Amino acid sequence: MEHVALWIAAFLTLGIYSFLYKDNIWYKLCESIFVGISAGYWFVVLFWDNIYGKFWVGVFPPKAYNDAGELVNSAEPDYLLIVGAVLGVMMISRLIPKIGWVSRWPLAFIVGSTSGLYLINYFTSNMMRQVEATIIPLFGMNYELSAYDIIGNLVIVIGTFTGLVYFFFSKEHKGWFGRTAKIGIWTIMITFGASFGYTVMSRMSLLIGRIDFLFGDWLGLIK
């Protein structure tokens, strides 16, 4: 079985790579398998973990013997979960165009909850905390910082400030404001350069991982 498995995995891997030569039947076959399998994967996992594990077990808790030897619910049934399930079923209604509008209710619920949570989360963690973290004494509390750290502090403060200036749309980029924005865009470019480097690193790692599979696990040429 192990042999079959390895050959299947290798067949699929090479099939996807054949796209690099050109779009072909082998690639399309592997792609279709991928689409089907991943949709099915989610289907199964969500069934067991959420619809069974959370909803069903929550509403109908498994029975267990208590200390007195009676068969009782192992936890209090949580009937409120039924509301969630009803909303979920309404979501599926979208498949039938005639009653598709019903699916707006659960959609509204999802959009509303994410908006409410996002508003607070992003405001506190990604704005307030970041502004707070940028308010730093440039030379440290007692001049204890080295030149390296002082320059670093300066770079952080100036970079963040000028970066914000660049994304400020209510004032024309002219004069000192324009020059400040210029420094801002330079900082952002350095940032993008770093992201560029890291993205390249990431993509290459994935390829290396697959090559490790092909030459190591499959063909056994490397350890």
Residue ranges in 86-105 that form contacts with another protein under rule CB under 8 A: 87-89, 91-92, 94-95, 101, 103-105
Q: 35 or 72: whose CB is closer to another protein?
A: 35
Choose which of 60, 77, 179, 197 interacts with another protein (CB under 8 A). Answer: 197
Q: Does residue 212 belong to the site contacting another protein (CB under 8 A)?
A: yes
Q: Alpha helices of 93-166 — where are they, by DSSP H? A: 104-121, 129-134, 147-166
**Tokens matching residue 186:** 């330079």
Token pair belonging to 18: 């054949």
Q: Which two tokens stand for residue 123?
A: 């405001």
Amino acid code (one letter) for 177: F
Among 203, 205, 222, CA closest to 214: 222
Distance in Å, CB of 194 to another protein, minimum = 4
> Residue holding tokens 């409120």?
80
Q: Is 145 in the site for another protein (CB under 8 A)?
A: no
Kindly tell me which of 70 and 103 has the beta carbon lying closer to another protein.
Answer: 103
- Other Cβ atoms closer than 10 A to 70: 9
Shortest reach from residue 7's CB to another protein, in Å = 8
Interaction residues for another protein, span 11-40 (CB under 8 A): 12-13, 16-17, 19-21, 23, 28-40
Task: Examine residue 125 and tell whether it contacts another protein (CB under 8 A).
Answer: yes
Lookup result for tokens 């660049």: 166
**Which position among 79, 170, 175, 176 is part of the footprint of another protein (CB under 8 A)?**
170
71 belongs to the binding site for another protein (CB under 8 A): no
> Helix 147-166 and helix 175-212: axis angle, to 10°?
110
Pick from 60, 73, 77, 108 the residue near another protein by CB under 8 A.
Answer: 108
CB of 178 to another protein, least distance (A): 10
Distance CA 16, CA 11 (A): 9
Which residues inside 41-60 make contact with another protein, applying CB under 8 A? Answer: 41-55, 57-58
- Does position 10 interact with another protein (CB under 8 A)? The reply is yes
User: Taking phi first (over 0 means left), then psi (-120 to 50 degrees means alpha), and beta for anything else, what does residue 106 get?
Assistant: alpha
- Count, residues near another protein per rule CB under 8 A: 163
